[in-house]
């Protein structure tokens, strides 16, 4: 007799269904600058954005909620500015994202360029008004392609599991046919 692992009800309820999860890291001092970008991103279907000001509920353990959402995210978008550099929360979020090997996309809101743990990571320049439109298009296209890629990978995984399940059940049938 074989033992099979199935998703628990809780795991099935929390399965992401191919939704791309994006964590937004920012300084609250930059809210006015980042809201227009978030509004454009939120128009993309099949993404879930974690934005602390809108997502953390009263009574939530803030640090643990943030850490869990970074760990569960697919993409970590960092709105990089002088305020973000000075923010202990933002610096800790970067550390969690790096230690969990997340795709990090720094978006420059001022002339500060990523250093330290972010050095060498390709960033988007929203600080230069002449580049902002093209950079927004790059970000939008990257997110859309990531959603499509995640959905494709999810479909392939499901097909693979179905195929494996079929082979396992067929293997059991073959045992009965050969043994009796």
| Predicted confidence (pLDDT) per residue in 142-177, tens digit | 888 888 777 776 677 667 777 777 677 776 555 555
Give residue 45's pLDDT.
85
Rg (CA), the chain: 21
DSSP letter assigned to residue 73: -
- Calculate the CA 56 to chain-centre distance: 17
Task: Give the pLDDT band of residue 79 (cuts 50, 70, 90).
Answer: very high
Write the DSSP assignment of 99-155 as a string of letters.
HTT-EEEEEESSS----GGGTT---EE-SSHHHHHHHHHHHHHHHHHHHHHHHHHHH
- The structure tokens listed for 159 are 């097909």
Residue 123, in any domain of the structure: yes
Percent of the chain predicted with pLDDT > 70: 81
Task: Give the pLDDT band of residue 17 (cuts 50, 70, 90).
Answer: low
Give residue 7's pLDDT.
39
Using alpha carbons, select from 95, 76, 80, 91 the residue that is nearest to residue 30: 80
Residue 158, in any domain of the structure: no
Residue 166, in any domain of the structure: no
Q: What is the pLDDT of residues 103-126, one digit of tens each?
A: 999 999 999 999 888 989 999 999
Domain residues for the domain of 110 are 17-148
Distant-in-sequence, close-in-space partners of 110: CB < 8 Å, separation ≥ 6: 81, 82, 127
The whole-angstrom separation of Cα 113 and Cα 84 is 11
Residue 164, in any domain of the structure: no
Residue 153, in any domain of the structure: no
Domains held by the chain: number: 1
Residue 72, in any domain of the structure: yes
Give residue 175's pLDDT.
54
């Amino acid at each position: 007799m074989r033992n099979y692992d199935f998703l628990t009800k809780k795991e099935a309820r929390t399965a992401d269904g191919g939704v791309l999860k994006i964590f937004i890291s920012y300084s609250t001092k930059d809210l006015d600058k980042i809201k227009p970008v978030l509004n454009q991103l939120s128009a993309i279907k099949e993404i879930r954005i974690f934005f602390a000001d809108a997502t953390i509920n009263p009574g939530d353990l803030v640090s643990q909620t943030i850490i869990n959402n970074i760990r569960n995210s697919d993409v970590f978008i960092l709105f990089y500015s002088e305020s973000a550099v000075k923010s202990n929360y933002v610096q800790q979020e970067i550390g969690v994202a790096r230690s969990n090997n997340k795709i990090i996309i720094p978006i420059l809101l001022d002339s500060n360029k990523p250093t330290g743990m972010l050095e060498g990571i390709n960033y988007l320049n929203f600080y230069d008004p002449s580049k902002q439109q093209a950079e927004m298009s790059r970000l939008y296209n990257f997110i859309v392609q990531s959603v499509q890629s995640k959905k494709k990978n999810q479909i392939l995984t499901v097909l693979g599991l179905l195929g494996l399940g079929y082979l396992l059940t067929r293997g059991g049938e073959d045992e009965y046919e050969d043994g009796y």
